[in-house]
Each structure stands twice: as structure tokens, then as C-alpha cells.
A and B are shown apart, each in its own frame.
Chain A
Amino acid sequence: MNNELLKVENLKVWFEIRKGFLSHPLYVRAVEDVNLVLNKRESISLVGESGSGKTTLGKTILRLYKPTEGKIFFENKDITESDSNNIKWYRRETGLIQQDPFGALPPHFNIYRILEEPLNIHNIGSKSERRELIFKMLDEVRLTPVEDFIYKYPHMLSGGQMQRVVIARALITGPKLVVADEPVSMLDVSVRVEILELLRSLQEKLNTSLIYITHDLATVRMFTYWIFTMYAGEIVEKALAKDLLANPLHPYTKALLSAIPEPDPKNREVIKEVPPGEPPDLINPPSGCRFAPRCSSRMSICNEVPQELEVETNHRVRCWLYKK
């Protein structure tokens, strides 16, 4: 299809861990059987807790990890098997925004140099064109006056400012796809809104597709179109943002939504119903539905892996509670 930017089919990402020199290798099954389609200029929020595989999925899509099984197509090109030699073009078309602003910028480069690196690597523009591009980008992320910032080093900036540089760096090559992995979770509360706002407006302005990875559902309302919830390496529910928030179907999504604290003083007197236990060990995950051990609606059929079903238009779930 013309509008399709990214297609992921039956993606599995397993990490090998060796316990000893001669023993059998064990695998951490970080991402299991993921299918997704992202169209141009769309954005998806990948929501899940730690260990859900959302970060692994996001980075595998960027080919920072190699898929164990399955396929990834970008603009109809198969990038599953590409190795470092023929993947360089893809790096130009994608961008990564990481969680930790303090670690994401090389401490020994100044801001100008940091932003120049991607342009250098991909030979974009002449020296003066690059300068223009860098200035423009810094202006876009509202680090003004630009002249004040270009010769500063990362440690001279605040967390919010650093993250703006990270965003600028991710967008400077004009990528079609950006993966933002918990971009604000390490920032001060009062700064988060600004950064998310910036991300949203830039995404619209530059026509980039965005995969927004977070554990904080409350921030998702700001800008995404689709919300996918992930649990223990699988995508358990896919829906348009308003539908998911209004009518969550998967028990895990429901639990997630109800667990989010809302500022209501009456909460003190209420003991919330929360699924007991913890996410499963990904070396030996439960067979069948991975959420079943904690699910209050558990049935015997949950020992088999549920398939993804479209329960309503644009609302898909992986749960035996629903039939077509």
C-alpha cells in the first residue's frame, strides 16, 4: 500500500544468555510474535511496564537489534537481514530519542558538533548548508538564542535543554520514522509537558511518523493516534487512543488504566483492586497467554496462546474472552 511506512510481521526477538561454557544456551524471549503496521505521518504509543519488551521492540524496529524471527519492512523494503554495511540509508531515515538525556549526548562534543555528526556521517549538504540546518533545528526546538547554545557542552545544560538537543539530533536528517523511548521520564515533572508538546508539534510540522514508548499512559493523550499495550513481550491490545481509553478490552489494559493514580483525595480510603504478582520471567514465560497467571478472568483455555482478533473496527485484542 502506498501509505504504509513500516510493516512488522511475526517479529520475535530473543536474546541468548549462556550460563556456562558448555551448557545449553537460554533465551530471554523479549519480543514474541509482534505484528504491526504504521502508516506515514501516524503515531503509535507503545505502552507497557518494564520488561514488557516495548523498548526492545522499538530498538529492533530501528535495527539496533537483529530480529530472531519475522520480518520488518520499511517503505516496502525488507530490512530484516540487512547488516551494518547496507543499513546506513535506513539510519538516515530514522531517528532515536532516548530516555536519559544526561547519557545521550557525548560529553566531549559541543552542541554544534553533536548536531553536525549525523550530517557528517551521511554527507548531507555543504559546510554552510549544514550550519544553516543546525541553526534552524536549534530554533525549532526552541533553544534560542542559538548562538548561546552552539558552543556549550552538554553538562552546561539542564535536563530539559539536553532533551531538546536530543530531539533536534534525531530530527536533523529529516527522518520519516522516529522512535522516542520514554523521552520525558527522567525529566522534572514541570518540564515534561513542554517537551512532549514540542515533540508533537515537530512531528506534525515535519510529517514524521512517531513510535512513542512509555509506561505513563497519562502522557499518551497528548499526541498519539494509536495505542498499543504490551505485556511480557507481546502486544495485547491495539486501538485508537480514544477507544482504548474509553473502552479497554484486555484485562491487562484495564488493570493498567485503573492502577494509574488520579489526583483524588478520596483514594486514601480505597484499596484498589490490582492484579497480584509480577510480570513473568521471560526466560521461562508461561505457555499460552502470558498474563493468565495474574488475570482475574482466567479460564482453562488460557493455556493456549490467544490469537489477535479484531473485536471492533480498529480495535484488536489478544484474549480468549473475545470472539469475533
Chain B
Amino acid sequence: MDEILLRVKDFNLSYRTKKGELKAVNNVNFELKKGETLAIVGESGCGKSSLGRGLIRLFPRNINTVKGEILLNGTNILLLNEESFRKEILWQEISMVFQGAMNSLNPVLKVLYQVAEPLMVHYSMDKKSAFKRAKEILGLVGISEAFVERYSFELSGGMKQRVIIAMALITNPKIIILDEPTSALDIITQENIINLLKVLKKELELSYIFITHDIALTSELADTMAVMYAGEIVEISPVEEFYNNPSHIYTKLLLESVPTLRQDKKLKSIPGSPPSLVNPPQGCRFHPRCPFVMDICKTKEPPGVKISEVHFSKCYLARRNGCE
């Protein structure tokens, strides 16, 4: 179905730091359709984690400004008061699998209890039904009955991550934000988890926002790719176009820097390093590292170019590339 679940408009986040105002997320716009997986890729410091957490209003202590709209089924969830947000949206409509969450499981609680706890606290479910439901979900993610009564430290990395996914699913959300869900896992375990995510997506009709730095990995799940750099989304495109017809120079360079097993290609890394978000470069934030930089890139922020209905790029050269 082509129903649009989530619409993010001109989302801005900035933090107060000792050195000044850190503009972590700058004018982000995107849409998420039902049953779609949107992958947000970027390197460290690009703001993708801030964006992910910001979508469920998880702001750090030093939050300075929050601007823009996050429209979930038409309602701007940024404007809801704390209580209705917590009761109706958070974990009910959108939940999140945090980076490194598997290391934050409570070591003194049994797995079953941990997964069932939100049901007992927020839904006031009685213990028996909450445990029953938790067992169901854990079975769904592949944790057998035997392991359900164990403590988290008795589980392996892959199993812990499954528990985290179960905790994200327990309240039947429609959207799950996954922030580097497999980065701490071995490759084979990673594949197992990705397989699980694929199956769940189909069976439960979920939509994912998949945040990662691993570009090759995203192809396993993503329908749409969004590339983030220095707090901005510089390109959004369907995944095929991403690999076959990247538009933004950063996207192109990124693809060229990733080693792959089977493709024999000349690899190049991107010189320089990501800019400070307290004093980002004027104009296009990527211009100091761009081999094709033009004068206008240094002064004026490039507008988004609609290469097609579904392909959008923030690069002056995109105009020239057009849609091929």
C-alpha cells in the first residue's frame, strides 16, 4: 500500500555545547510509507543517531532548539504534550532498537520479565497475560521457551539482540527505528538477525527506519536510501537508483570507498574529515572535501533538486546530471 505513515518536514535539532550551538540535524525532510524500509546511511558524526532519537522525542539534556514537524498519520507528534506522547505514540506507534542496546539489558531480571514489564506497567496487564504475550513475541524472534527464563548475561550476542527486537515489538508498533542493530555482531549472526527482520517485516507489516554506516548491509533491507552528511540529508533515492545512479558527489565517493568482496573496483577514500557541526562550512556542508567544488557551493546552500518523484539530491551538480 502506498499510504504515507510518517512525514518529517524541516526537522531541525540543535544542542548547547561548551563551544557553542551544535546544529546536529539541519532541515531534514523525508517520508515513510507503510511497509517501506528507509535506510539512513552516513558516517560517524553525521547526525543519524540524533535524528533517529529525535524522531521519538528523545532529546539529550543539552537540547537547544527543536523545529519542524513530524507528522504521524497527520498529527504533529512534536506538539503533543508529554503524557499523550508517551501513552499513545511512544512504543505504541513507533519504537526503537538502540545502538548497543543489547549491552544495556538489566542483568538482574530474567529475559521474560524484561520483555513483559512494559505491558504490566503501561497497559496494566496482569502478570499472567503479560508473560504469555512476551513468550509469544520471544518465540516470534526465535528465542525458544528454554531461554526465556534465563538472565541476559547467559545469552549470546545474537540472542540478546533478538530480545531487544522483541522488546521493540511487544506493543505492536507500526514503525521501528533501528540504530545500528547489528554492528556489534559477527557476520553470520548479523545475517541471522537481518533474516529475522525481513521475516518480521513481512509477517507483521512493519515499516523500518534503518540507521547504519554499513552501506552494503542496507541493500539487504532498504527500499529507499537516505544519505546523511553533517546533519543534513544530502540525497534520497530508491535503492536501485542509489547503487546504479547516485547523484550527490558524497554518495558517489562513499560508494567508491567501500570495499566489496566480489566486485573488483578501484577503491578511493574521501580526503579530509567531517566538519564541526558548531561551525559548519558555509554553503554546501560538503564543499571543503568535494573534488568538484564550484564557487557557488562555497557560499550558497544548495536547494534540493528533484531528480524524479522519488529521487532528491542536494547538489548543484545534480541539476546538470538530471535524471538519466
Which chain A residues have a beta carbon within 8 Å of chain B's beta carbons?
49-51, 158, 160, 188-194, 196-197, 215-219, 221-222, 245, 255-257, 259-265, 267-268, 271-272, 274-276, 278-279
- With beta carbons under 8 angstroms apart, the residue of A188, A190, A259, A267 that contacts B187 is A259
How many residues does chain B have at the interface if contact means C-beta atoms less than 8 Å apart? Answer: 48
Is B43 in contact with A188, judged by CB distance below 8 angstroms? yes
Whether B215 is near chain A, meaning CB under 8 Å from some CB there, is: yes
| Candidates B37, B159, B242, B261; contact of A262 at CB < 8 Å | B261
Give the complex CA separation of A272 and B199 in angstroms: 11
* Docked complex Cα distance between A193 and B223 (Å): 27
Query: Provided the pairs A259-B188, A272-B191 are in contact, do residues A265 and B239 lie with their beta carbons within 8 angstroms?
Result: yes
Interface hit among B97-105, B265-273, B298-306: B265-273
Asked if A189 meets B257 with Cβ closer than 8 Å, knowing A262-B219, A274-B192, A278-B189, the reply is yes
Other contacts beyond A215-B186, A278-B156: 15, CB < 8 A: A49-B188, A189-B215, A190-B43, A191-B270, A192-B269, A193-B267, A193-B268, A218-B216, A259-B188, A262-B219, A265-B240, A265-B242, A267-B220, A272-B194, A272-B195
Please indicate which of the listed interface residues A51, A193, A279 has the most CB atoms of chain B within 10 Å of its own CB.
Answer: A193
Q: 7 shortest A-B CB distances, which residue pairs?
A: A49-B186, A194-B269, A190-B270, A193-B269, A259-B191, A278-B156, A261-B216
A193-B257, A265-B243 are contacts. A259–B190 as well, Cβ < 8 Å?
A: yes
Q: Is the CB–CB distance between B219 and A261 below 8 Å?
A: yes
Interface on B for A, CB 8 Å cutoff? 37, 43-44, 156-159, 186-192, 194-195, 198-199, 213-217, 219-223, 239-240, 242-243, 253-255, 257-263, 267-270, 273-274
**For residue B221, which residues in chain A have a CB less than 8 angstroms away from its CB?**
268
- B103 CB, nearest partner CB in chain A, Å: 14
6 A-B pairs (CB sep. < 8 Å): A158-B273, A188-B274, A189-B43, A190-B43, A190-B269, A278-B159
With a cutoff of 8 Å between Cβ atoms, the chain A residues found around residue B43 in the complex are: 188-190
Query: What chain B residues lie within 8 Å of A257 (beta carbons)?
Result: 261
A256 touches which of B188, B223, B240, B267 (Cβ 8 Å)? B188
Residues of B within 8 A of A259 (CB): 187-188, 190-191
Chain B residues within 8 Å of A222, by CB: 259, 267
CB–CB B156/A217 < 8 A: no
Q: Contacts A274-B188, A274-B195, A278-B158 known; A190 to B253 CB distance under 8 Å?
A: yes
Q: If the complex has contacts A271-B199, A274-B191, A275-B188, are A263 and B257 also in contact, measured as CB distance less than 8 A?
A: no
Q: Provided the pairs A158-B273, A190-B270 are in contact, do residues A218 and B190 lie with their beta carbons within 8 angstroms?
A: no
How far is B257's CA from A197's CA once the two chains are assembled, in angstroms?
12
Q: Within the assembled complex, what's the spacing in Å between the Cα atoms of A260 and B259?
A: 12
Determine the residue in chain B with the shortest Cβ distance to A264: B219
| Nearest-Cβ distance from residue A84 to partner chain B, whole angstroms | 34
**CB neighbours of A49 from chain B (8 A):** 186-189
Task: Give the chain B neighbours of A267 by CB distance below 8 A.
Answer: 219-220
A192-B269, A271-B198 known; A262+B192 contact, CB < 8 A: no
Within the assembled complex, what's the spacing in Å between the Cα atoms of A256 and B270? 29
Say whether B219 contacts A189, CB under 8 Å. no
Q: How far is the CB of A48 from chain B (nearest CB, A)?
A: 9
